[in-house]
Amino acid sequence: MDLSTPTGMTRRHFMSHLAGSSAAAAAAFTLGNSIQANAEELKKNRKSAILLWMGGGPSTIDIWDLKPGAPTSGPFMPISTTGDMQICEHMPMMAQQMKHLSVVRSMSTREADHARGRYYMHTGYVPNPNVEHPGYGSVVAHELIDQRPELEIPPFVSVGGAGSGPGFLGMAWSPFSVTSSGRVRNLEMKMSDQRLMQRMAALKMIEDGFASRTRDTPAMEHAKVLEKTFDLMTSDQMAAFKVAEEPDAVKERYGTNGFGQGCLLARRLVETGVPFVEVDLGGWDNHGGIHPTLKDQKLPQLDKAMSALTEDLAQRELLDDTVIIWMGEFGRTPRINQGAGRDHFARAWSCVVGGGNLKGGLAVGETSRDGSAVETEPYSSEDLMTTVCKGLGISTETTFTSNNGRPMKIAGGGKLINELLA
C-alpha cells in the first residue's frame, strides 16, 4: 500500500472525463446545494479544524518543551508566554498567543518511520494491508458537513501538500489539494459557459445511467465527485481561494512564503465554511545542522504564520468554533548526533492544540529532565484526535464500518485528554 498518496479520484481524472464527453446534451442543469435563506444562522456554532502539518518530524524539544541545563539541551532558551508554559525564544510572536493554545508534552507513540508515522498520526491506526483507514480530515469533514448545507466547495482542503486519503469513507471525502496561493490546478476550462454546461449535462446523464444500472459504490462515488466539481466550478464561494486579494499588510503579517500564505488561505476557507483544512510545512527531518536550520529558517516561518492565524481567528471570533492542531509524525531525539542534528524519536514529544471547546494556555503532561521519557500519563494519536473530535462537538462514540465489515471507532477509539476539555 502506498502510504504517501491518498486514494480517490484526482481532479485530472475527472477533467479528462469532462473534456472528452459528448456535447450533444440538453440545456444547463443545476446541481448541488443552493444558498439557504438562513445561511447566516447556520454559520453560528459550526465547527472547523485547521491542521498545521510539520512533515519530517519537528524537534519539539527545541520548540515547545525545552530542557535548559540538561546535557540534551540545544542552544535555545525558553521564554515566558501568555499561557502557563514557556516555549522557545525564537517563537516570540507565538508566545503572545499561547493563552489560546495548549501544548501536550506527553505524546508517546510507536511509529518512528516517516511513512508509517504520517499514516498513524493522520488516522489513529497503524498501516494495515487489509484496510485503508480514513484520514482525520476526511473523518471531520464527513461528520461536520451537515452543519453547512450551503457549502459548495470541498469540505476538506489540503494546502501545499497531498493530505491524507479518505480510505473506506470513499473518494467523495478525498482532500482537495491546492497551492498556498489558492490555485486550483486542472480546473481551468478553455470554453464558453454554454459549452461547459452542455458537456456537464452530457456527462451527468452518462454517470447517472451507469450508476443506476450497476448500483456500484465506485460509480456512485464518481457521480458525487462530478456533482461537487460542478458546484466548485460555478460557485461564488471559490472567491475564498483568492488569497492575492487580501491587503498587502495582511499577507505580510502571515509571511509571504508558502506556509504563511497557506495559513492565510486556511483562515479564508474556514470563514467560508470549510470544515477541515490542512496546511503543510515540510522540511523538519533535521538529522544534521538542526539548530541553525531552526533558528534561521523553520521557526521564523512558523512563528509568524501560526501566530497571525491564531490571532486572526481570535479577533474574528472564529477561534471558539475552530480547533487548531499542530503536529508532525513524531519528535526528535534528545541526544544530539555527530552531525549536530537530532534523529527520529516517537517515545516522548509534543503536539499543540486549542480553539473550539478546548482549553488554551496549558502545558499538559511532562517529560523527564533530559526529554528522553514521558513521566506522566502518555498520550497517543488516538487520544489527541478523540479529544479534538470532542472539541469539535463530534460524538466520540461514532463508529464506522470498514470495507471489510469491521466496526471502527472514530479516531481509533482513543481516550480523552481531560485537562483540555472546557
pTM: 0.84
Q: How many whole angstroms separate alpha carbon 262 and alpha carbon 305?
A: 9
- Closest-CA residue to 300 (of 256, 270, 363, 343): 256
Q: How many whole angstroms separate alpha carbon 396 and alpha carbon 414?
A: 9
Instruction: Taking residues 365-374, report their average pLDDT.
Output: 98
Listed range (181-195, 243-257, 300-314) with the worst mean pLDDT: 181-195
Residue 120 has pLDDT above 60, yes or no: yes
Is the Cβ–Cβ distance between 97 and 104 less than 8 Å? no
**193-214 and 217-234 are packed helices; what angle lies between their axes, rounded to 10 degrees?**
160
Q: Which pLDDT does position 403 carry in this prediction?
A: 85
Residue 76 has pLDDT above 50, yes or no: yes
Q: Mean pLDDT for the chain?
A: 86
**Per the structure block, which three cell numbers stand in for 230?**
460542478
Q: Which pLDDT does position 404 carry in this prediction?
A: 85
Listed range (12-16, 86-90, 300-304, 344-348) with the worst mean pLDDT: 12-16
Q: What confidence tens digit (pLDDT) does each residue in 16-58 have? A: 444 433 232 322 232 233 333 344 544 556 899 999 999 999 9
Q: At 188, is the pLDDT very low, low, confident or very high (cuts 50, 70, 90)?
A: low
Q: Which pLDDT does position 235 carry in this prediction?
A: 83
Is the Cβ–Cβ distance between 409 and 398 less than 8 Å? yes
Listed range (136-145, 258-267, 287-296, 400-409) with the worst mean pLDDT: 400-409
- Tell me the β-bridge partners of 277: 50, 157
Instruction: Taking residues 238-262, report their average pLDDT.
Output: 96
49-182+247-420 adopts what CATH topology? Alkaline Phosphatase, subunit A (3.40.720)
Residue 212 has pLDDT above 90, yes or no: no
**pLDDT over 90 percentage in the chain:** 73
Q: How many whole angstroms separate alpha carbon 410 and alpha carbon 140?
A: 10
Q: Which pLDDT does position 15 carry in this prediction?
A: 43
Instruction: Taking residues 173-192, report their average pLDDT.
Output: 76
Domain ranges of the chain: 49-182+247-420, 189-241
Listed range (10-14, 156-160, 297-301) with the worst mean pLDDT: 10-14
* H helix count then E strand count, the chain: 12, 14
Q: How many whole angstroms separate alpha carbon 30 and alpha carbon 37?
A: 18
SS3 track for 344-391: EECCCEEEEEEECCECCCCEECCECCCCCCECCCCECHHHHHHHHHHH
Strand pairing class (101-107; 349-355):
antiparallel
* Residue indicated by cell numbers 452543519: 147
Element (H, E) at 193: helix 193-214
Instruction: Taking residues 379-399, report their average pLDDT.
Output: 97
DSSP-derived 3-state class of residue 140: helix
* Residue indicated by cell numbers 452542455: 198
